[in-house]
Amino acid sequence: MTMLEGIRIIDLTTVIFGPYATQMLADLGAEVIKVEAPGLGDISRYLGNGIPDPTMGSVHLTVNRGKRSIALDLKKAEDAAVLRDLIATADVFFHNVRGKAIARLGFDYDGCKAIKPDIIYVHGTGFGQDGPYADLQAYDDVIQAATGTTSLLPRVDGDPRPRYLPSLIADKVAGQYGAQAILAALIHKLRTGEGQAVEVAMFECFTSFMMVEHLRDDTLDPPIGPAGYPRQLDPTRQPFPTKDGYVAIVPYTPDSTARLLALFGSAPLLGTPAFEAAKAKGEHMQLVYTEIAHQTPAKTTDEWLALFAENDIPAMAVRDLQDIREDPHLAETGFFRHRTHPDVGSFYEMQPPVKYGAAPPRDIGFAPRIDGDGTAIRAEVAARQNQ
């Protein structure tokens, strides 16, 4: 038995935020029925180059794995009726259509609650629906800008141009919150029998995520300093050069800092007036990082890593993104599994990163073609109506 066996989720979300949330739940065994527009389907299908079938892109293979697909044009009465019949059998209905548009289609919370009184109705929005940004469109770049995330790199390197972090990080973080919200609502329903409306707003989710550390001294009223976590924004806190590459070193505690500097023969730094003065202002780590960067070019990365491991210093080689699939640890744990998709061919599938003692590993279902399960799902709906 899987962790979420018997849970049915109707997924009307697109791109990354919603599909990533439901992918995690499908990995846990929930039945996720992906509702797509006929023809092109979800745009996430087209994220990834070089695949013979452009509707089966590499991101789609991940965020929509283990789901079933049905294509429905919700402006057509017969297709809207199919969705209503599916909602009547579901535990969760999740969409990221803007509020006014979904209401026009008849699938707002009140409309869905009339179909299934205990439905968990999850609305993935760009911005909280009780604020002035409620009707604005939201994409990852927009949310990074709105949350101040684009101001972080300028604080580190002195280049004043705002810049995005090169990742769909806001979408993925909101997806994590979305999966968490669905699980919490399911527990509430198991305890009380009640469904509910749940709003998951990207802006609020990502603000919460980023400001855990970066609200910092602006937390108090009155503030005792500006927002921004100094340790993360220290320009000297970067990967350190070695004879043949770079290495990440984390002297996180006073003890590990002392041991690290002792390995370098730099222990006297800790007793200098300059260090004491910097420490009094909370700026002493800049001196430590500068000294580390001065010492690390003397050995190769592997030589340093062996020495650090012997002395319990947290460190890791800096690797290129292209090399991650060949990481020896991930190879040993089977994180990247080679599989053969019936439509796409050979590909590598990331395994769920969390392991559960009560749920042994299992084969994850493949990502579907557009409407790949439409005929079967429609037949199931018809069969229920005839019972």
pLDDT value of position 280: 82
Structure tokens at 31: 């039945």
Answer yes or no: is pLDDT of 49 > 80.
no
Rounded CA-CA distance 324/301 in Å is 17
pLDDT value of position 314: 95
Query: What percentage of residues in the chain have a pLDDT greater than 90?
Result: 89
Answer yes or no: is pLDDT of 361 > 90.
no
Q: How confident is the model at residue 385 (pLDDT cuts 50, 70, 90)?
A: confident
pLDDT tens, 25-42?
Answer: 999 999 999 999 999 999
pLDDT tens, 212-249?
Answer: 999 999 999 999 999 999 989 999 999 999 999 999 99
pLDDT value of position 92: 98
Rounded CA-CA distance 385/387 in Å is 6
Answer yes or no: is pLDDT of 51 > 80.
no
Strands 8-12, 31-36: pairing is parallel
pLDDT tens, 296-352?
Answer: 999 999 999 999 999 999 999 999 999 999 999 999 999 999 999 999 999 999 999
Rounded CA-CA distance 151/156 in Å is 9
> Which residues, at least 6 apart from 288, have a Cβ–Cβ distance to it below 8 Å?
251, 257, 261, 269
Instruction: Provide CATH code, domain 240-317.
Output: 3.30.1540
Domain locations in the chain as residue ranges: 8-210+352-385, 240-317
Judge whether 304 and 245 are in contact, CB under 8 Å.
no
Rounded CA-CA distance 71/50 in Å is 25
Q: How far is CA 342 from CA 22, 173, 347, 365, in A?
A: 22, 31, 11, 11
pLDDT tens, 171-208?
Answer: 999 999 999 999 999 999 999 999 999 999 999 999 99
> Which residues, at least 6 apart from 69, have a Cβ–Cβ distance to it below 8 Å?
33, 34, 36, 41, 368, 369, 370, 371, 372, 373, 374
> Which residues, at least 6 apart from 268, have a Cβ–Cβ distance to it below 8 Å?
none
pLDDT value of position 57: 93
Starting from the edge strand earliest in sequence, which strands make up the sheet with 315-317, in order? 240-241, 246-249, 315-317
Rounded CA-CA distance 182/308 in Å is 43
Q: How confident is the model at residue 384 (pLDDT cuts 50, 70, 90)?
A: confident
pLDDT value of position 50: 66
Query: What percentage of residues in the chain have a pLDDT greater than 70?
Result: 99
Give the chain's largest Cα–Cα span: 86
Per-chain mean pLDDT for the chain: 95
> Which residues, at least 6 apart from 22, have a Cβ–Cβ distance to it below 8 Å?
9, 11, 13, 30, 32, 34, 67, 94, 178, 179
Judge whether 264 and 291 are in contact, CB under 8 Å.
yes
Omega cis (within 30) before 160: no
Rounded CA-CA distance 144/168 in Å is 9
CATH superfamily name and code, 8-210+352-385: Crotonobetainyl-coa:carnitine coa-transferase; domain 1 (3.40.50.10540)
Rounded CA-CA distance 44/35 in Å is 13
